[in-house]
Structure 1
């Protein structure tokens, strides 16, 4: 099982950063909360800081654990560990994604999500 961390990043307006997987990647065309695979011995919070810096060029501050979801994609099984995080600084530049948006919480169900992210989307939507 692959451990993956996902950041539910909020800006000062309370909008949430979402990103669409680009062509050629697994789950291409689907939206997700950005993050990445944990390296051996790495905490989810450290992973998220590193991944968002590498993949999107932004700085974030993870501040609270949000939940865990295990999902079997058939060829790979992942354990997705989500944290709420605050956006700090940086300009979004994309490497693993072809688009990003700052979405309102009540808009989240309008997007086609990667299956592992769906339980987190539903939980966030229920809080609106």
Structure 2
């Protein structure tokens, strides 16, 4: 099983950072909470600090485990661990993504999320009490 970490990053205005997978990448065109593979001997929080510096040139401060999700994609079995994090600084430079947006929590259901991230959008909707059309969340903006 491949362990991956995702960051639900909040800025000073309470907006959440989402990023769209660029063409040629697995799940191209889909939105996700940025993150990456957890390396041997690394915690989820350490992974996120490293990955966000490498892939987006930003600094974050993970502060709370949010949830975990298991996802099977063909022969690949993924355990995705999501953490809430604060944006600390840096100017976003994209490498694995072709677009990013800071969005209000209530806007999350408007985007086409990768299958592994959909459950986090649904859980955020439950916690923060905003509506989400569970049947169509994966068919939204690309």
Q: TM-score range by the shorter chain?
A: over 0.9
Which gives a bigger RCO, structure 1 or 2 (Cα 8 Å, sep 6+)? 1
Q: Name the TM-score, length of structure 2 as normaliser.
A: 0.88
| Structure with larger Rg | 2
| Residue 111 of structure 1: aligned partner | 111
1:41-90 deviations in Å (ceiling 9; x for gaps): 10000000000000000000000000100000113111000000000000
Q: Does 2:91 correspond to 1:91? A: yes
| Residue 63 of structure 1: aligned partner | 63
| Residue 35 of structure 2: aligned partner | 35
Residues in 2 aligned to 1:17 and 1:77: alpha-carbon distance in whole angstroms: 25
Q: Mean Cα displacement is larger for which, 69-78 or 97-106?
A: 69-78
Higher strand share: 1
Residues in 2 aligned to 1:19 and 1:2: alpha-carbon distance in whole angstroms: 21
Residues in 2 aligned to 1:27 and 1:77: alpha-carbon distance in whole angstroms: 15
Residues in 1 aligned to 2:15 and 2:125: alpha-carbon distance in whole angstroms: 12
Task: Identify unmatched segments of 5+ residues in structure 2.
Answer: 130-142
Residues in 1 aligned to 2:95 and 2:76: alpha-carbon distance in whole angstroms: 22
Deviation at 1:5, TM superposition (A): 0.2
Number of paired residues? 128
Residues in 2 aligned to 1:17 and 1:123: alpha-carbon distance in whole angstroms: 16
Q: Matched residue of 1:92: which SS?
A: coil
Q: Name the TM-score, length of structure 1 as normaliser.
A: 0.98
Where in structure 1 do 4 or more consecutive aligned residues deviate above 3 Å?
none
Residue correspondence of structure 1 range 71-86 to structure 2 within 5 A: 71-86=71-86
Q: Matched residue of 2:65: which SS?
A: strand
